[in-house]
Amino acid sequence: MPEKIPQKIKSLRKKTEKIEKEAWLLIEDAKTLEELDKVRVGFLGRNGTLTQLLKTIPQLALKYRPEAGRLANALKRKLEENLREKIDALHKEKEEKGLEIDITMPGCAQELGSTHPISQTMAEISRIFKNLGFKVVDGPEVETEYHNFTALNIPEGHPSRETFHTFYLDDGTLLRSQTSPVQIRVMQKEKPPLRIIAPGKVYRPDATDASHSFMFHQVEGLAVDKKINLADLKGALTVFVREMFGKKTKMRFRPHFFPFTEPSAEVDISCIICGGSGCRVCSFKGWLEILGAGIVDPNVFKAVKYDPESWSGYAFGMGVERIAMLKYGITDIRMFFENDVRFLRQF
């Protein structure tokens, strides 16, 4: 005869079955970890349904307690297991969805940068000369002595070849001290006629101060054609000066010497601050030097195997920082390289 199940245990079993069913449904329904935790507290918290039930066991007659304890603890283990499984499932779901994204949160705007004033100035110089039929070309910043000096008619022993004017590398190459070697590279590759400008970085071992930097930018220009003369050079530079600094700007050529041009000149513009009457920017001269230029020396043509009897040309070279400083009224070259956004944002 199986032992009769006492009423007390029967009703306890009913209660645990009811709790189990309820809990199972609520756990199934929980959509978030927060909801699930509420379910847990509802059953297993200090005042939870199951906790309350466990508390009644000590009040049962001694003989019922073991069975009652077994039932209630089995339920407790079951609920804890179900909760654990659901927690894992919710975590996994969250991971699969990626981080939970609250689409109502305000976004973090990415500030747009702006083109560096030196790049802007080089682009403007390039634009002007492109309109005059010049092609924009590039050359290496690590150069040979031949391209940077020899082919440009700069003799051995010339001061610009000294180590305090040029950065030499261990293998006999150097960091170009001017963009003029691009003239040589282009002429070695291409047949005349040609018109090119070459913007880029140059390097010189100068101590840094308000007007010197060991690295700065130049734009080189070269035109080679039949019967090119000084008037062609003046014409092109006049267009450049007017476009860059305004129609009223005057220009003058001052005789000078460069090894790669003959004759050579330094080119000045009327002071864009005072208009020529004299001020601190132009040291009360009324004029500002902006570039070097001249008629290509026959020796340069010989170096690239162009016949100087059939071809002639002009060349010029300007410092981009100097042009930008004059155009924007900047008094310290270091501003360009310090990456201070309060400065850069103004362009």
Confirm if 317 and 220 have CB atoms less than 8 A apart.
Answer: yes
Contact positions with ligand DAH (CB under 6 A) in 282-301: 292-294
* Minimum CB–partner distance for residue 183 and ligand DAH (Å): 7
129 class by beta-carbon count within 10 Å (0-12 exposed, 13-18 middle, 19+ buried): buried
Nearer to ligand DAH, 48 or 292 (CB): 292
* Minimum CB–partner distance for residue 341 and ligand DAH (Å): 31
Taking CB under 6 A as the binding criterion, the range among 109-117, 168-176, 244-252, 258-266 that sits at the site for ligand DAH is: 258-266
Taking CB under 6 A as the binding criterion, the range among 16-24, 242-250, 305-313, 315-323 that sits at the site for ligand DAH is: 315-323
Give the whole-angstrom CA distance, residue 238 versus residue 251: 7
Taking CB under 6 A as the binding criterion, the range among 119-127, 190-198, 245-253, 254-262 that sits at the site for ligand DAH is: 254-262
Radius of gyration of the chain (CA): 42
Taking CB under 6 A as the binding criterion, the range among 71-79, 87-95, 305-313, 314-322 that sits at the site for ligand DAH is: 314-322
- Chosen residue from 148, 166, 261, 312 binding ligand DAH by CB under 6 A: 261
Cβ neighbours of residue 330 closer than 8 Å, sequence gap 6 or more = 117, 324, 336
- Chosen residue from 317, 322, 323, 333 binding ligand DAH by CB under 6 A: 317
- Chain centroid to CA 6: how far? 82
**What are the two backbone dihedrals, phi and then psi, of residue 313, each rounded to the nearest 5 degrees?**
-165, 165
Q: How many residues bind ligand DAH (CB under 6 A)?
A: 12
Question: 186-225 mask for ligand DAH (x: CB under 6 A)?
Answer: ----------------------------------x-----
* Minimum CB–partner distance for residue 229 and ligand DAH (Å): 14
User: Residue 178, interface with ligand DAH (CB under 6 A)?
Assistant: yes
Question: 67-106 mask for ligand DAH (x: CB under 6 A)?
Answer: ----------------------------------------
Closest by alpha carbon to 8, among 53, 43, 47? 53
User: Residue 325, interface with ligand DAH (CB under 6 A)?
Assistant: no
Nearer to ligand DAH, 86 or 322 (CB): 322
- Chosen residue from 315, 320, 323, 326 binding ligand DAH by CB under 6 A: 315
Point out the residue whose Cβ comes nearest to ligand DAH: 317
Give the whole-angstrom CA distance, residue 265 versus residue 253: 6
Residues lying near ligand DAH in the complex (CB under 6 A) are found at 178, 180, 220, 258, 260-261, 292-294, 315-317
